[in-house]
Amino acid sequence: MRGLTVLGAVLAAQAAVAPPPQPPASLVVGEIGEQTFTGDFTCPVDEICMRYPALTSFGKARTLSGPVLPVRFPARIWLHMGIAKGAMLAIIVQPRADGRFEVRAWTALQNGEACLPSAIVDATRLRLPDETVSDGDNRCFRL
């Protein structure tokens, strides 16, 4: 019986510890630079992996929401294939402990329009531009 009491106390203590807060995210439109795959992620032998981490830089960046980022900044982005250098992307970015940034979601701009995953937009609590519309699992907006 005492073992159950101790287990209950441990579980209650674990439940009381909240996960660390996520740093605030930013919604940015910017031009992607060349990407270099980092090699710090290996796919398990029995799995097919569709995304790998790459280091890149963004230029001509304009912050639309969240903390303002510099016009140029380094970031890690997860890709399944390279993106043409100079392509304009809408990205959700969060700072990392190493001073770089982590791209949580990205999409290429098409005719001034961008769609980002609703789940990530909701998790980061980003404010999107006015007149955002939901398109299935995405939130779409025009720039």
Residue 60 has φ and ψ, to the nearest 5°, of: 50, 35
Average pLDDT on 99-124 reads 91
Average pLDDT on 102-106 reads 94
> Does residue 108 register a pLDDT over 50?
yes
Average of per-residue pLDDT values in the chain: 83
pTM for this predicted structure: 0.78
Q: In the chain, what are the domains?
A: 21-142 (2.40.50)
* pLDDT in the model for residue 6: 44
**Residues 42-79: pLDDT tens digits?**
777 777 777 788 899 999 999 999 999 999 999 999 88
